[in-house]
Amino acid sequence: MNANELRIGNYFKWISTDEIDKAIFISDRGNEFSSVNDVNISDAIGITLTEDIFRKLDDSEWSFVGFGTRLIVQHIKFRAIKIEFGHDEFAFYFNDELINLKKYLHEAQNLYFALTQQELNIQL
């Protein structure tokens, strides 16, 4: 993983321990990085999106609107935003148009922030 893929607050895990961590500092140059554990960024990897992670989205911000083979939630405040989970990917929709697929949690966090200027609240 490269430091320029992360924003402060992004979740990721360490190759050696599979331990989940959170970015707390990223330099302006995009090549320096620090976390709670202060370990080298080359030892960090993305957290693959799963149904379990999908179900940890903050219930006060999302309402379930679809089930079946795919789970779909709609944001309560930003009603134009929906997230669909299936096949280990988050599909982001804006006004019912697919805008992007994400496989890793930090990517989903970054896209959500780009759309709303707010953090994606998820309890790991």
pLDDT tens-digit series, residues 9-46: 888 888 877 778 777 655 555 445 555 455 566 778 89
In angstroms, the CA 52 to CA 37 distance is 24
| pLDDT at residue 80, rounded to an integer | 92
Give the start-to-end residue ranges of the domains of the chain.
3-45, 51-116
- Tell me what pLDDT residue 34 has: 54
pTM of the predicted model as reported, rounded to 2 decimal places: 0.81
Nearest by Cα to 47 from 8, 99, 11, 98: 11
Q: Which residues lie closer than 8 Å to 10 by C-beta, 6 or more apart? A: 22, 23, 105, 106, 109, 110
Task: For the chain, give the mean pLDDT.
Answer: 82
